[in-house]
Amino acid sequence: MAISHDYIIVQDEQGKYDEILTDLDYSSFEYDYEQNSSRTLQFTVYKTPLNEFAYNLTQNESVVTFQGQDFVVKQATQTQTGYVWNKQVTAQHVSYAFQDWTAQTVSQGKTWQLQDALDFICQGNDLGYTLDFQGKFTTVKLDQLGTKSALEDLQDIVTALHGIMFADNKHITIYDEDSFYQKVDKTFREVYNTEDVEIEQDTSNLKTRVKVFGPKKSTKDINYQQVKCKDMVYSGDWSKDKSYTTSKGARVRYTITAQNENDILTVDTENSQYGGIFDVYLDDKKIDAISTYSGSPASVDVSTTLSKGDHEVELVFAGDDPKHVMKTLQDAHNKKTLTDAENSADKAKKHAKKDDKIPDYVGKAKKAIAKSKTWVARGTVGDKNHYLLTVKLNPLNDSYYKVVGTYIDPIEKNYGHSYWFSPLHDNSAKTVDDLMKYAQKQLASKIVPTVTMTLSYRGQEDINEREMWVFEEPSMGYHSIDERLMTLNTHHPYYFQPGSVGFTNDRNSLVKLQSQLYSEIRSTRQSLTDAVDPTWGTSPLVGYGEVVGDTSGN
């Protein structure tokens, strides 16, 4: 790590010159940090005869060093008022310039050893960046690497791990929470060193339970009953091989068995240029009409709400498809045949020589039309081994999946009712236990209200991004809360002004915080009304959720 100083050094982009920057407006100086998001310096510098060279060095892409950390100038707004010149400067921590590098190859989705993924992003970079990690991480599953900037790839990894990214200049480290935060003997204490304390709780996105689905069953298990044409019962006039009929009222039927409520019935006919319409009946009630004309869907889900048990399915041929009436199609075909013949005759006459004999194109066409058979609509079900009917599992039902469960976080008992999250899918799960682990991880950040806690710090002790302080605010009901810093806004040491601190939405700390709040509420109710039944409980329960409805595929 570079030597830390409170004065500011500015260096040109090429690194040829560096100067101590003087004549700053220290009241304008701010250091802003937001975990995994931003880390910037802002200040105003005035041009004077004593700092002209350093002032001119301070421009876009020059490097500003403060307390051992480098920041790259990204915005520099110069202002002149009379004979006074100044620049308002915003500089971004040099670690964020890692966005200027992109991995030179692309890798599609896989599970990586974490250091291998970091090396993949970083390899070959000539900007001087290095990456490593600290904590209990081992692997990370990613859709792809190398299609974005190196910084975006790195942020994807941090998001997947629920980690914390923090840099010492160009050396960037991913931490887990236990490795990042350092507990220190420092306290934010009411009146003593804090003011303007604000704690806001937002339950808009509170979620305490979720239904989670594992991988879907095999195709064979999903399509659990398939009926071939040869197994159907035919009545009426059919072709010799029973693959089609031209007789209205001809029908085929079969009794299917649905294993579950709301299973699906699919009819899969064969289409042709003579295709007509089949009316579909389920238990003597017409539920659909299927066209077998070319271009129509061959496979149609005629029912997605089968009730469990036996059902008689019947397909009855109804004749022409109203959108494709055979007489109309044949008349159009014959008209085109004559038109083509006339065009051929005209073309032949145009290019014929004096003694050439011109073929009778029109006469031949008329004879062909006269000899052609009348087009008749037909309903084609297929050859004897064609699967005409399929009864299958509904993807909206639990039975479609190998394993299904509902995770209920124990903390729900503190709230009085359920907060459902949108259903989740984990295609790698093999057991309900796997689903519960996955659901618990996905729900971890949603089981407590979003809490925004900020305060102004008036103490003399330095605040570090990695420190864990104790929060004491007895008048608001909070005692000995360990707080992990999430945001930090401080000013230059030469200009003392209160800094602003924001804390993380950490589950254990906030459950403790909530418990103390609810305890205060309960005590107040007790003293005022002798009530002993508060709306919300106070136990910060931890552990596995409750499993509801383990289907194991049923």
Both 276 and 380 in one domain: the answer is yes
* Residue bearing tokens 């407006």: 25
Distance CA 160, CA 42 (A): 31
Q: What are phi and psi of 497, to 5 degrees?
A: -155, 140
Burial of 357 (0-12, 13-18, 19+ CB in 10 A): exposed
Indicate which CATH number applies to the domain containing 135: 3.55.50.30
User: Three-state SS for 458?
Assistant: coil
Q: What is the pLDDT of residue 249?
A: 96
Q: Which two three-digit tokens encode residue 429?
A: 């799960």
Instruction: Please state the separation of Cα 477 from the chain's center in Å.
Output: 38
Residues 233, 322: one domain?
A: yes
In a domain, 409, yes or no: yes
Q: Please report whether residue 363 resides in a domain.
A: no
Compute the distance between CA of residue 117 and CA of residue 474 in angstroms, rounded to an integer: 47
Same domain, 253 and 307: yes
Q: The tokens of 453 are what?
A: 């806690």
Domain contains 536:
no
pLDDT at residue 16, rounded to an integer: 93
Answer for the pair 144, 106: CB distance below 8 angstroms, yes or no: yes
Whether 369 is in a domain gets the answer no
Beta bridge partners of 24: 45
Q: Is residue 408 located within the same domain as residue 485?
A: no
pLDDT of residue 540: 32
HSE at residue 83, side-chain half, CA atoms within 13 A, is 2
Cβ-count burial of 337 within 10 angstroms (0-12 exposed, 13-18 middle, 19+ buried)? Answer: middle
Asked if the structure places residue 133 within a domain, the reply is yes
Indicate if 287 and 385 belong to the same structural domain: yes
CB atoms within 10 A of CB 429: 23
Helix (H, G, I), strand (E, B) or coil at 397: coil
Give burial (CB, 10 Å; 0-12/13-18/19+) of 348.
middle
In a domain, 544, yes or no: no
**CA 170, CA 173: separation in Å to the nearest integer?**
10
Q: At what angle do helices 150-161 and 114-122 cross, to 10 degrees?
A: 170
Q: Is residue 347 part of a domain?
A: no
Domain endpoint, select from 38, 73, 94: 94
Domain membership of residue 113 as a residue range? 101-180
Consecutive 10-residue averages of pLDDT for the chain (554 residues) = 76 93 95 96 96 95 96 96 95 96 82 92 92 93 87 93 95 95 90 85 89 96 97 96 95 97 96 94 96 88 96 97 91 92 87 80 89 92 95 96 95 89 94 94 84 83 89 78 87 87 63 52 48 34 37 39
193 with 214, same domain: the answer is no
Q: How far is CA 238 from the centre of its chain?
A: 53
> pTM for the complete prediction?
0.61
pLDDT at position 498 is 82
Could you tell me if 440 and 420 lie in one domain? yes
Give the model's pLDDT for residue 509. 53
Tokens matching residue 255: 């009794």
457 within domain boundaries: yes
Same domain as 437, residue 403: yes
Query: d(Cα 541, Cα 411) in Å, to the nearest integer?
Result: 6
Contact 534, 518 (CB under 8 A): yes
CA distances from 205 to 340, 438, 450, 539, 540 (A): 69, 19, 8, 21, 19
Domain count, the chain: 5
Q: Are residues 252 and 382 in the same domain?
A: yes
- Asked if residue 67 and residue 28 are part of one domain, the reply reads yes
Q: How many residues does the chain have?
A: 554
DSSP strand pairing (420-425 vs 209-213): parallel
Q: For the chain, what is the largest distance between any 2 Cα atoms, rounded to a whole number of angstroms? A: 123
pLDDT value at residue 512: 54
pLDDT of residue 279: 96
Residues 150 and 253 in one domain: no
432 and 382 within one domain: no
The pLDDT of residue 541 is 30
DSSP 401: B
Residue tagged 């039927």 (tokens)? 253
